Structure 1
C-alpha cells in the first residue's frame, strides 16, 4: 500500500512538471482568453459609467427656466418669489446673462466662446427641488411655467435621462451578447487546450491509470490548469484595460467632467473579482466536461 501511494505521488509530481513544460501552449491559451475578456470588460466599463451619469442626472433634482430677453426685472423677481414659495422647491436662483457667460466661458476656454457677447447667453432661473418630488409633479410644473410671458423655455433634463437610459439598455444588451461570446471562446480555447495537453501527456496518464489512479486523480491537474487559465485570462484583460483606462482618463476633458457631474471610474472591485471568478469557474467546468467526453480519462 505504501509503495502504491509512493508511486502515485511520484506520478502526480511528474504530471505537474509536465504541466509546467507546456507553458507555451498555456500562455497562448491565456492570451486568447484575455482578448475575449477585454471585450466583455470594456462593455461593462461603458455600462458602469453610463449608469453613473444617468443616476447623477436622475437625482439632480433641478430644472432651468430660461427667460425671454424682453422679461423685465419685476417679472423676473415675481417669478423667482413664486417659485421659492412653490411646494417642493428648495431654491430658485436667478442667473443673469453675464453670470451665465462667466460660468460657460472659463479661463482657457475656446476662443470662439470667449468672443460671444453676454446677450448670447440667455438669463435663467435655476430651480432646485426636494428629492421626493415626483416626475409627474415636475412635468406639471414645467407645463405651467412655459405659458408665462417671461419664460422662453423650461429644461427639466428628463429627455437627457431617458436617452441615457435607452443608451444604457443598449449597453447592457451588448454586454450580454459579449458574455455569450466570451463563454463560447472559453469553451473553445480551453477545450482545445485540454485535448492538446492530454495528447502530449498520454503516456503519463496511462501509467497513472495502470498503477491504480482514479479518474478524479488524473483529471484534477487538468481541471486546475483550466481554472488557472480562465482566471489568468480574465485578470490579464483587467490589467490591460486598467492601463488603457488610466491613459484615457489622464487626457479626459475636465470641463466635460464638470458638465456631466461625474468623473470616469473603473470597474468596481466586486465586478472585477466576479470576472476573475467567472473565468476560473468557466475554465474548470470546460476542462472537466472536455476530459469526461474523452475516452482516455
Structure 2
C-alpha cells in the first residue's frame, strides 16, 4: 500500500503565501507609483519639458565632444594606415643594386610593401610637382638619389622608429626619413580631448543632479503634508521615496531622448558641409553616429543621473520631515 507524500507544515505554507502576497503588493505599488509619477509630470507639461530640456543640454555637450573624439580616432587610424618611410640610397648605387636593396628591404620583418623610385623617376616627379621643367632640364647631372618608399606592417611610432633604425644599418642606404611629429601631436591632442570630455561629462553630470534635485525638492515641499500623514500611519522612507525616484527616472529618460534627438539633428545639419570639406581634400569622411550601443549608453546614463538626483534630494528632505 503506497503512502501519500507528507504535506508541508502549515506554517511553511502560510509563510510562502505571505511572501508571495508581499511580492505582488510590492510590484503593484511600483507600477502604481511609476504611472502616478508619469501622470504628475504630464499635468505640468511646460515645466516638465523645460526640466528635461535642461538635462538634454547638459548631456549633449559631452556626448558631442565624445563623437568628435571618436571621429578623430577614426582619422588617426586612417593616418596610421598611410604611415610610410622613405629610404634614400647612396649616390653610387646603380639601378641593379637598387633593385636588390629593394628586394632585401621587402624581405625584412615588419615591412608590408615597398616601392622603388629611381633617380630619373624622382626627378620627373619633382619637375611635375614644382612646374620647373625648363630650369631643371638644364642641369647636367641628376642630383636626386634613388629612393625606396616603405609601408610598415605596424604603423605605431615605436615600431616605425625601430624599423627605421634597422634599415639605416643596411649597406647602400644613406638615410631613412620619417615624419611622425605631426602624428604624435595629433595623438596628444586626442588624449587631451579625452580628458576634457571626461571632465565635462563629470561637470555636466553634476549639473543634471542639481537640476533634478532642485525639481524633486520642490515636489517634496509641495507634498509635505501628504508625506507627514503617510509617515504618521507608519510608511517607511522607502515607501515615501519611491514615487519621487520614478519622477527622477522619467525626467532622466525624457532628457536623454531629447539629447538623442538634438544630436541626430546636429549630425544631419553638419553632415553635408563636412562631406564637402573632406571631398575638397580628396578624403571620404562622414559624421559619426551614436549607434545602438551609444544611444543605449546615453539613455541609461541619463536615467541613472535622474534617479540619483532624485534619491539625494528626497533622502535629504525626508530627514527633515517629522510627522506632527
Residue 32 (structure 2) pairs with residue 32 (structure 1): no
Partners of 1:99 and 1:263 lie apart in 2 by: 36
- The secondary structure found in structure 1 opposite 2:84 is strand
Q: 1:292 to 1:132 in 2, by over 3 A?
A: closer
Partner residue of 1:289 out of 269, 291, 312: 312
- The secondary structure found in structure 2 opposite 1:191 is helix
Q: Is the 8 A contact 2:105 2:114 kept in 1?
A: yes
Q: 1:131 to 1:148 in 2, by over 3 A?
A: closer
TM-score of the two chains, using structure 2 as the length reference: 0.67
Partner residue of 1:170 out of 169, 188, 192: 192
Q: 1:228 to 1:199 in 2, by over 3 A?
A: same
Residue 67 (structure 2) pairs with residue 53 (structure 1): no
Structure of higher CA gyration radius: 2
Q: 1:62 to 1:166 in 2, by over 3 A?
A: closer
Structure 2: which 5+ residue stretches go unaligned?
Answer: 1-24, 137-143
Residue 275 (structure 2) pairs with residue 250 (structure 1): no
Q: Is the 8 A contact 1:83 1:89 kept in 2?
A: yes
Q: Identify the residue that residue 117 of structure 1 maps to in structure 2.
A: 131
Q: 1:91 to 1:232 in 2, by over 3 A?
A: same
Q: Is the 8 A contact 1:52 1:262 kept in 2?
A: no
- The secondary structure found in structure 2 opposite 1:91 is strand
Deviation, structure 1 residue 194: 0.6
Deviation, structure 1 residue 277: 1.0
Q: Is the 8 A contact 1:84 1:92 kept in 2?
A: yes
TM-score of the two chains, using structure 1 as the length reference: 0.72
Q: Identify the residue that residue 130 of structure 1 maps to in structure 2.
A: 153
Deviation, structure 1 residue 19: 3.5
More relative contact order, 1 or 2 (CA 8 Å, 6+ apart):
1
Partners of 1:118 and 1:71 lie apart in 2 by: 26
Q: Is the 8 A contact 2:36 2:243 kept in 1?
A: no
Deviation, structure 1 residue 201: 3.5
RMSD: 4.1
How many residues align? The count is 271
Q: Identify the residue that residue 239 of structure 1 maps to in structure 2.
A: 261
Q: Is the 8 A contact 2:244 2:310 kept in 1?
A: yes
Q: Identify the residue that residue 294 of structure 2 maps to in structure 1.
A: 271
Q: Is the 8 A contact 1:63 1:154 kept in 2?
A: no
Deviation, structure 1 residue 143: 4.2
Partners of 1:263 and 1:66 lie apart in 2 by: 35
- TM-superposition CA deviations, 1:18-47 (whole Å, max 9, x none): 332132222111111111111110221122
Partners of 1:118 and 1:27 lie apart in 2 by: 66
Residue 213 (structure 2) pairs with residue 218 (structure 1): no
Partner residue of 1:93 out of 115, 138, 143: 115
